[in-house]
Every structure is written in C-alpha cells, then in structure tokens.
Structure 1
C-alpha cells in the first residue's frame, strides 16, 4: 500500500509511493519504540521484568566501562527503576558499593524528580512539586560521590551527575568543573556531550554564544566517528532556525546547515557501524538532508535506518511512524522529480 506524499496535505500533490518498490520497510512494520537495532536492550529488559538483578549485574560487567553502550544501558535502567525499583533496591542491599547500581539509582532519582515536577512551565509548578523535585535531586550528588569513591576512574557517575546538576541549577563554573572531570575520564563521549550542550542552551543556564562555543569546540576536538556532529545539527535546528517558513527554508538550504550535514555524513561513515548511537545521528540526517534539498543522500539514510523511528525528530509528532514514512516518501518523490539526481 502506498503512502501519501506529505506535501499533498492541504495541497494538490497527492501522489503515493509503494515502499516495496524502493526497498523500504513498509509502514505496518515500522517500530516506534527504538531508534535502531538494540541487542543490549533485548538482554536487559527481560531481566528487569523478571527482577533478575544478579544476571543483570553480570551482563553489565561484560560491557566496556568507557563505552556508549554502557552509558545507554545505565540510562535505560534508570528510567525503568524510576517506575519500579524493587529489583534495584535488592541489588543495592546485596552490593551497596556497585558503581553500576549506584549510577542506575542516581538516574532513577532524576527521573522521579522530573516526574514530580512535571513538564509544565515553571510558573505552573506548585510549591509541593518543587519541594519534592529538589528533595530527590539533592540526593543525586551524594549517590554519585559514593560511586566515584568506589572507582575514581569510572566516568559513569559523572555522567549521571550531569542531569542532576541541571535540575539543581549548578552555576556555570560548577558545571565546568564537572565537565573537566568527566571529559578526562570519557573524552568525546556522545552521551556526555549531548547532556552538556543541553545545559548550555539559553533556556537553561547558558546562552547562544556559550552553547555554540561548547558544541563547536567539542565537535572540532572529536575524532571521526564520535558522532558528536549530531549535537551541532540539533543545535542548528532547535536554536538557530528562523521563525518564518521562507526564512526556515533558506536556512535549511544555507551554507551553515549544508556544512553541518556533510560533516554528519562523514561522521556516520567513519563510525563503528554497530555504535549504539549511530541510528540517532542517521534520523537527524535523514530529516534534515531532505529539508536541505539533498534527496538522494536523505534516502541513503532512510535505507540505513531501516524499520525504526523511535528517535528525534519523529518522536516530537503525535504519529512518529506516519511522520517518518511521510518524509521518506517526500524525499523519494523529490528525487524522482529531480531526475533521480
């Protein structure tokens, strides 16, 4: 079954494509729960569901200490523990100095704190919500410090501290201290860089100038394949796009975005193709290359992504699958219109 070209909404172009004719995964088989293949998730999720913390701890010990795989797993486990931490409490009772367990606990505290605060505007958050929010967040530095004492070389406690520091409103100098310690232990970490650029955004505790300086410095220092170019693409999209439709179209096709996308393509090509964060960069590339008029390159990213759409920017929409498949169809039809160039 074909998909309507999204440009047809409210317009006259209602052509469709047959995904199978182009080698695409059809809409019915798309997964909106993942950004890409996730073999680690297939291991840990059943263990969490079963409360099997000993086997979970054993699996984490097989994952390299300084790796995005580990940082992603600790983040996911923290999200799970925020909803039900019975298994984590048993783990901590049996091994209170486990760095992995302490980091999961810190991540869960941050998640629980934000659930109490809610995502509403600050002016609408009640005093009771603020009190619960800060009560939980104030525990995070001590939990992370305990993990740091256990293994001072481990970067994971410092990464767990990043989001806590954001909520606790750490000053710029305090955050720079955190970043120095973290980057010494995990230089060019995707997870750490992504969390840090969020801190430096104008809506939090930075400015356009401080945010841009941080991102560009991080990208320039990173070796090819680190995937830090995603932070630059996302920064341009979220913080520098003009408001008007015509101005946005010009910006997306402008030199600055074009350079960022070309660097992103090179970054993705140089990465370990099993890198746990590579799909996240590909999703941004697929969307922005289409907007930049680089249709064949956008299609290449859609092919590489396959049947997954559980990532930004698709997650921002009510129907991520339809948004993903719609942009994919747009890129394909635009490529056809351009004579397959």
Structure 2
C-alpha cells in the first residue's frame, strides 16, 4: 500500500514543464545543449521563469556526466561537464555562462554537503571555495554580457550567502537585483534565507523581512507565501538546532496558537492561493510550503484544496524537515489527513 501511495509522488524538479525536463535529461546524462538553448531563449523577459530554468538546469548537472570528484584528490572536474563545454564553445552567450556559473555553485554545494557548517571538513571547504570562485568568474561574464538581466544577481546573492559575505556586499547585490526586478521570486527567497537564524540573521529579522514584503506585494503575488516559508525555517531551527530543542508537538502547538502565524496562513490563502491570477513558474514550490504550514498547524480542511493543486508534485523541502523519516512519509500522511478533512 505504501509503495502505491509513493508512486503518486514525482520529485523531479522540472515537474510538469516538458521543455525543461528534456533539457535536464541532457544536462545530466547527455551532451546536446540545443534543448537548453531553446528553453532558455523562451524565457527572455520572463525573469521568474528564467531564474527557475537556470537553477533547475544547473542542479541537474551536479553529479552528472563529467562533474564527478576525483577519488584521490577530491577535486571536481570543471571542464568536462555539459555546462562547462557549452560555455567554453559559446563565450559570448550569457545564457551558457549563467548556467555554468550556477552549475559550478551546485557542484560546490555537493562537495560541501547539506549539513551544518560545523560538520564540514577543511578539505571540503577548500574545494567549495575553489568552485565558488570559478562560479563568480562565469557569473561576472554573464553580468557583462546581459547587464539588464537580474538572473546573474540572483546567483551572486546565493554565492554571497553561502560564503557569509559582509552584509554591505549582500545589501548592494540586493539593491542591484531589485532595481532590475522589484518582485523577483527567487531573489526574495534568498533574502529570506540570509535573514534567518541558521545563516546570519534571527527569527525576528526573518519574520520582519517576510511580513514587510507581504504588506506591499500585490494581490496574487506568490510572495504572500513568504511568511509561511519563514515559519518553516523557524520550525526547523527550533526542532533541530535550538538549545534546548523543542519537540514537534510543541512547535505545532505554538503554530496553532499564535494569531500572527495563523494570519500569515490566512493571507497566503486569500491573497495568493484563492486568487485567479496566472500560475507562476515556482507554483508547486509555494504550494508545498503552504500545505506544509497548514498541515503542521492542524488546518487539514484548508490544506485539502492545496494538496489537490499539488497533485503528485511534492518538493523535498520543506517536507524533509518534518520528522526523522523519509520526506515522502510526512507528505503522504499530511495529504491523507487533508483528504479526509476536505
């Protein structure tokens, strides 16, 4: 029965975008850059979709053909991967440089691992820094080739956060990014990350940023989900990092009882989910965060239509933050409760 339930889940980051899925298959297992070139050409002027395509394509190269680490030296090849050869053959193509920059950064994260900083070895940090430097170089070329494009500024922001850059540098990047696109979806997710306690901020800074955005974001904007994302980050810290740690039940009780956190969920439902606006490129990501917040605060009936909209497109974050088991366990159980309540 469990196998049947999990077959109803698809975690491919390209989700239902067939053009992006084809390009990702080549990015990970092949060498044909034409699907990616065509896909990215169709995003010009659509900043949210462009950032998503660059991010997902780059993630597909990590661990793919030509990007493995040498077992003896621990160094990652930076010339043979699909993104490397595309950029080398097309030095004046900003899209090729964008994808390579983000690919190098994804490979840097693969070397570092997803654990807390204290668990990362010195040799991992050294290789992470080398790859991040190369990513910066490729990203600088993309900036020079497409000065009005906010996408390279997103990559710079992500690199700066990963490297704990000075706040003044992060603030300058943020100004440049939002000057090009004031409501940039991924840019705001990264700024939220920078504000959260597990990086260089605090719960107060994180919530302050998220709620200040929703106070001015237009109706229908996916940025109304930002405070719900903040709550997911808060719950992760409280259960996994705080001293003393809190139980899942304690966190969920506070989530249910806190009127401001409940208001954040109401706002995300009324000003985004229930609006008839067009579906944005990272629709499923926001749906999963909203369903997570509703499920964890006991609002299963409200979560039912959100799970229906998600369908089979679960995202591993934030479901992997709930409990110690596989992330699909939390998702399937929450979805079942919502279906019964709905």
Counterpart-to-counterpart distance in 2, 1:203 and 1:247 = 17
How far does residue 147 in structure 1 lie from its aligned partner after superposition?
Answer: 1.1
TM-score (norm 2): 0.82
Residue 232 to residue 89, structure 1, CA distance change in 2 (3 Å) = same
Q: For residues 94-137 of structure 1, what are the alpha-carbon distances to aligned partners after superposition, in whole Å with 9 as ceiling and x for unaligned? A: 21121111111111221222222233443343322222121221
Q: TM-score, normalised by structure 1?
A: 0.82
The separation in 2 between residues aligned to 1:57 and 1:257, in whole angstroms, is: 42
Contact residue 24 and residue 56 of structure 2 kept, 8 A? no
Aligned length: 313
Q: 1:128 to 1:74 in 2, by over 3 A?
A: same
* Matching residue of 1:112: 107
Give, in whole Å, the separation in 2 of the partners of 1:261 and 1:201: 19
C-alpha distance in structure 2 between counterparts of 1:306 and 1:35, whole Å = 15
Distance 1:117 1:74 in 2: 21
Using the alignment, how far apart are the partners of 1:116 and 1:28 within structure 2? 30
CA distance in 2, matches of 1:216, 1:192: 16
Question: Is the CA contact (8 Å cut-off) linking 2:255 and 2:296 kept in structure 1?
Answer: no
Which 5+ residue runs of structure 1 have no aligned equivalent? 4-24
Counterpart position of 2:23 = 44
Cα deviation, 1:178-200, whole Å, max 9, x if unaligned, reads 00000111221111111111112
Higher RCO structure (Cα 8 Å, ≥6 apart): 1
Verify: 1:60 aligned to 2:35, yes or no.
no
1:10 aligns with none
Q: Deviations over 1:130-169 (max 9, x none)?
A: 2212122123333222111111100111011112111222
CA contact (8 A) 1:264 1:281 kept: no
Separation of aligned partners in 1, 2:17 and 2:127: 34
Q: Give the superposed CA RMSD.
A: 2.6
Structure whose CA Rg is larger: 1
Q: Secondary structure at the match of 2:328?
A: helix
CA separation of 1:69/1:209 partners in 2, compared to 1, >3 Å: closer, same or farther?
same
Contact kept, 8 Å, 1:225 with 1:271, in 2: the verdict is: yes
